[in-house]
Structure 1
Amino acid sequence: MSQRVSKSKFKAQALEFFRLIESSGESVVITDHGVPKFEVRTFLLQTKKPLDVQYGSVLHFDYPTNPVAENDWEIA
């Protein structure tokens, strides 16, 4: 569960909050007059390769050996 803190308190104790976020892994929500405005959390490096996102997106291809022209593409 994330902790909520005002902007002024976060500004005064930013390094403490950074250490807390780093050690616990929980996020901190920064509020402005009680309204959530920002969320500070640890950075998670994505290990997916860019082409992995496209994996499985071609469902059917009638003639895989024929050349493909620019106007042959359909956008779903």
Structure 2
Amino acid sequence: MKTEISKTHFKAHALKIFRRLEKTGEPLIVTDRGRPALIVRKYTRPMPDPLMRLRGSVKRYEQPFEPVGQDEWEALE
């Protein structure tokens, strides 16, 4: 695929160009009267840090293996 195309060609073949960009990942320069005007490239989403997503979601129990009395169950209230 060429790395530069005119706006007119881009407009006429946009879907075909998008599909090709998704497959190859190569950026494309769109020109206006021979001068570079736009860069079209595949969007890559940054990967979130899994530890940051879990931070604050885990509870801590001091004695997890000790029996719990019926009066301490939140569901029974």
Q: Residues of 2 paired with 1:34 and 1:17: CA distance? A: 19
Q: Residues of 1 paired with 2:48 and 2:30: CA distance? A: 30
In structure 2, the partner of 1:33 is 33
Structure 1 unmatched ranges of 5 or more: 50-76
| Correspondence 1:1-76 to 2 at 5 A | 3-47=3-47
Query: Which amino acid in 2 is paired with 1:5?
Result: I
Q: Residues of 1 paired with 2:3 and 2:17: CA distance? A: 10
Aligned length in residues = 49
Root-mean-square deviation (CA, aligned residues, Å) is: 1.9
Task: Give 3-state SS (helix, strand or coil) of 2:36's partner.
Answer: strand
Q: Percent identity?
A: 38
TM-score by length of 2: 0.57
- Which is greater in Rg? 2
TM-score by length of 1: 0.58
Query: Which amino acid in 1 is paired with 2:35?
Result: V
Query: Which amino acid in 1 is paired with 2:27?
Result: S
Structure 2 unmatched ranges of 5 or more: 50-77
